[in-house]
Structure 1
């Protein structure tokens, strides 16, 4: 599967495959029951063979599943209003705030076992010094890291911190009208100003070398998101947190994956290797351009 968003973590010691399999198997997903609001656990990352992890050479794909029960607030309010009216009619008294709260809790307990279920998955890819999580949502990415640490009994990893800030580098690229290395400017940028109520400008599908675009940076605004294309293979939005958003795997990459595949498993294998190679190269080049790691 091709990741569309990526939050990267720098991993200082990659877990061994067998240890990771054992840890994940011991924290396997089970659906929420009874009065549980949600349940979370690991599940097979691919739709064939039901493996605990999916390995492609030295890369390891994992999946974290979450199911949560959905109770519409309108439905709870409707039942609560019905019960309040019944009490007021039968007993000729008002229902106080505390009693309403108790009634509401009892209604929720009654409805939870019959509630609808919303399911979601978050994928992670271990590759070399990286854990790539397929989300741009920092909370979800950190939740994946937390669950892995709980399962493994610890995992030495952190958000990448570089000597130069990504915002500073992206702002310089916009001012210069070109990026460095194998990166070229695409057509999207977000800039933020200073102050208690900081102004924000978001520009899409426009030549980023145009004077009216660059003028925002000249006026002191900093770039927080920048559209880039890497090596004519991957287009994405880079954020000030080194997160990659709206990733587009260009035709040349997808054709390479499809060229030697004849079933779902071989396609997943090829996709995983190509994706890991590109993401590792992109992040590696960015770290170099940002002056290396801040130790």
Structure 2
């Protein structure tokens, strides 16, 4: 349940979806496994897995949804090898090699033959929807994977206007200032020991773990013009994370004080209640963290007005 990464989006839609409306909209897009002839399929699934059938869980204005993605694993090397064998056999049979179009037809047939025997892989992506803050957060390490779940949500709802959450001042510039001038660091935040500094040109990148952010190596890299593109942050009593210049949040680890609150609850005998308890606590921390980050980064950028 606990998010490891976070892609954040600002919801611009004026329509407020009730829980019932949202559930009804998602139901036709409920996940079903791939058939023998399908290479890939995505759909909404119950966040509680085998313990429940509910597609959306809502606690105190926070909604949890899950998208499953299943694909058949058909290595391109296997297709290529089989194609070469078929081409060789066909060349020997007819006395001349097949043309480009004939090879494409052969390749399509090979994929159709091998696909039913291919193994399947299923991956899960969780979405957190903060209805009060009008935020959507996706547990994905890349914007590409996050956009996939947004596309499915957009199809399910008919429309969905969101933009990546962005600060007025580029995050990389602010992180560089934090490294350069310790007096600018916000109260309640401590710099971690994972850093990436990039030069504007091709003068190299400094990537380091277990490094002192105030050490000589970092200072020298900043002096020659490198800018922070990744920086580990410790938000006191909340979490540690790695903030990237595009506002992606990676390597989230929740603080012991947060996890202890779960240990103090009595819901182990009810998996759904346990999941909802964890989600409610996590969502509260994520929402608070998003607000604090925007404040520390100089405020949220004003969304561009919609085209008439």
For the 8 Å contact 2:237–2:258, the answer to whether it is kept is no
1:60 — aligned with what?
63
1:28 — aligned with what?
30
What does residue range 247-262 of structure 1 map to in structure 2 within 5 Å? 247-262=252-267
For the 8 Å contact 1:166–1:290, the answer to whether it is kept is yes
2:301 — aligned with what?
294
Structure 1 position 56, deviation (Å): 2.1
Task: Calculate the aligned-residue CA RMSD, in Å.
Answer: 1.7
Return the match for 1:189 from 191, 195, 209.
195
Q: Encode CA deviations 1:141-195: one digit per residue, 9 max, x unaligned.
A: 1111121111111223211122111111100111123621321111111111112
Structure 1 position 198, deviation (Å): 5.1
For the 8 Å contact 1:40–1:66, the answer to whether it is kept is yes
TM-score by length of 2: 0.90
For residues 32 and 269 of structure 1, the distance between their equivalents in structure 2, rounded to whole angstroms, comes to 29
For the 8 Å contact 2:233–2:243, the answer to whether it is kept is yes
* Alignment partner of 1:42 is 2:70: no
For the 8 Å contact 1:67–1:120, the answer to whether it is kept is yes
- Judge which range, 8-17 or 43-52, deviates more: 8-17
Q: Secondary structure at the match of 2:121?
A: strand
* Alignment partner of 1:241 is 2:246: yes
1:265 — aligned with what?
272
Q: Encode CA deviations 1:37-59: one digit per residue, 9 max, x unaligned.
A: 21111111112122111222221
* Alignment partner of 1:279 is 2:286: yes
Unaligned runs of 5+ in 1: none
Q: Secondary structure at the match of 2:29?
A: coil
For residues 118 and 271 of structure 1, the distance between their equivalents in structure 2, rounded to whole angstroms, comes to 27
2:19 — aligned with what?
17
Q: Secondary structure at the match of 2:44?
A: strand
